[in-house]
Amino acid sequence: MREIDPSRTGRAEAALWMRAPMPMATLFKTLDVTNLVKYSRRRGCKFNLLMCWCVGAAASGMEEFYLLPVGDKLMQFDRLAVNAVVAARDGSISTCDIPFSQDLERFSRDYLALTGQVRDTGRPHDLEDCMVIGTSALAQYDIDGAVNIYAGVYNNPFLIWGKYRKKLLRAELPISFQFHHTQLDGVPAARFLDRLQGEIRGLKP
């Protein structure tokens, strides 16, 4: 992680949003997750794990996701991580940063090991050298989307989803995607969601 001059990036004009009192924006999209449901059932792989990997895969090909406003600075990262909210054994919840890898098997091993560690200890697992994409899965509940809080501290992009919906032979998942306007404009944010859909459809059961 290193500080960079916004004028030397493609986000030079957008850096003005760093001073805005409410710089977050949210997009909503319904994804076709049929492939993920099939893959999860046939391979015995957690649905949420697969969603997190697809999020990382979609973001990894976009340079905007390696930038993040932190306070009054624009920081550049070399690596990405995906964060998951974990229910601990004592009934509390905590968060877990999983380093993203293009290798799904490696990501799966890290996801299971790290979320298991957080579940057992109740302590968060943080990666400070990665640009972290937050996620929260309300998998037991049928929701259309959510707008997350903005506290002016956690500027990271964040996705929220609930329970997927079965429709004949298909499965659909409404999601919300919140992002800081310094990091992304509406067009690249929408492009990211299209890339996410592409990663999901490209996963062969």
At 85 the pLDDT is: 96
- Is the Cα dihedral 12, 13, 15, 16 positive or negative? positive
Q: Which of 108-112, 147-151, 157-161, 190-194 has the lowest mean pLDDT?
A: 147-151
Contact, 100 vs 60, CB < 8 A? yes
Tokens of 5: 């001059």
Helices (H), 44-185: 47-60, 104-121
At 186 the pLDDT is: 93
Q: Is the pLDDT of residue 152 over 80?
A: no
Domain positions in the chain are: 2-8+24-202
At 83 the pLDDT is: 98
The per-residue pLDDT for range 6-63, each reduced to its tens digit, is 777 777 776 677 777 789 999 999 999 999 999 999 999 999 999 999 999 999 999 9
Residue 89 burial class via C-beta count within 10 angstroms: exposed 0-12, middle 13-18, buried 19 and up? exposed
The per-residue pLDDT for range 74-103, each reduced to its tens digit, is 899 999 999 999 999 998 999 999 999 999
As a whole number, mean pLDDT of residues 144-157 equals 86
Q: Is the pLDDT of residue 5 over 90?
A: no
Q: What is the pTM (predicted TM-score) of this model?
A: 0.94
Query: How far apart, in whole angstroms, are the C-alpha atoms of residue 107 and residue 82?
Result: 10
- Is the Cα dihedral 183, 153, 83, 66 positive or negative? positive
Q: Which of 137, 191, 146 is nearest to 164 (CA)?
A: 137
At 33 the pLDDT is: 97
What is the chain's length?
A: 205
Helices (H), the chain: 34-43, 47-60, 104-121, 186-202
The per-residue pLDDT for range 173-186, each reduced to its tens digit, is 999 999 999 899 99
As a whole number, mean pLDDT of residues 169-198 equals 95
CATH class for the domain made up of 2-8+24-202? alpha beta
Tokens of 77: 């990262």
71 pLDDT band (50/70/90 cuts)? confident
Query: How far apart, in whole angstroms, are the C-alpha atoms of residue 78 and residue 11?
Result: 17
Q: Which of 39, 58, 110, 48 is nearest to 84 (CA)?
A: 48
Please name the residue that has the structure tokens 């306007």.
181
Q: Which of 184, 183, 54 is nearest to 108 (CA)?
A: 54
Query: How far apart, in whole angstroms, are the C-alpha atoms of residue 159 and residue 82?
Result: 10
